[in-house]
Amino acid sequence: MQSAAFLFIIFAKEEITEKRVKCVPRTLQEQRILDAALRVMAKYSISGTRMHLIAEEAGMAASNLHYHFKTKHDLLLALLAEIQDRFDLERGTIMLQEAHSLRERLAVFFEQKKALILEQPRYDKVQFDFWLLGQSDETVKQDFRRSFDHWRGHLVDSMLEFYPQMKPEYARDLSYVLVSMMMGASMQYLNGDGVSLDRYFSRCLDMVIGEIEADYGPSLIK
């Protein structure tokens, strides 16, 4: 019998691909190339990445790489879709986890982000590089916008789940703040600014929950 989490991933994937470029199932060779591209871009940045470097990292001939991805831009878009889909699905699974309060739910979002920063920093490094590329590439910018809309949507749904009396526009405004908090943590940590992620996210949680409780009182959902 398929688990609820597995079914959610299927449905979430379908929702994502309806709103983004439809994801094509990856062959083992294509996945190997994308994994190699992630490692190369994390090391050299997008501007310093060359197709022959990716081919070398993947352990294949450049002609084989070009068979799967004709141009560097094609490969970049495929990798961006891969990264954003992963983020979308991981954030979506949080919504399946049982939570007894909004504080508890948001704490899981923060813990997930902290784990990504500490354990797989290359994803954030490459994502920031893609964001810069999006300032001159409309396709990349639109893909980021859709992914962030999903992220904020999960946060809004969480707030309204525990505070049904909350105005939707209030929840929407806070979703921008929460995303900024998480992306800001990545930027400062990866920049070596000495931020303590435990204290950072604890204070973020206190500030957000404190504001909500000041404006709406305790949650109506127990």
181: domain CATH number is 1.10.357
Is 66 within the bounds of a domain? no
Is 140 inside any structural domain?
yes
Q: Which amino acid is at 62?
A: A
In a domain, residue 87? The reply is yes
Residue with tokens 């997008």: 46
- pLDDT for position 24: 54
Do the domain assignments include residue 48?
Answer: no
Domain-embedded: residue 74: no
Percent of the chain with pLDDT strictly greater than 70: 87
Q: Which domain holds residue 109?
A: 4-20+81-216
- In single-letter form, the type of residue at position 209 comes to I
Residue 61 inside a domain? The answer is no
Do the domain assignments include residue 166? yes
Instruction: Please check whether residue 200 lies inside any domain of the structure.
Output: yes
Indicate whether 97 pLDDT > 90.
Answer: no
Of the candidate ranges 28-32, 90-94, 115-119, 207-211, the one whose mean pLDDT is the lowest: 90-94
Q: How many domains are contained in the chain?
A: 1
Residue 146 host element (H or E): helix 138-162
Tell me how crowded residue 104 is: count the other CB atoms within 10 A of its CB.
Answer: 14
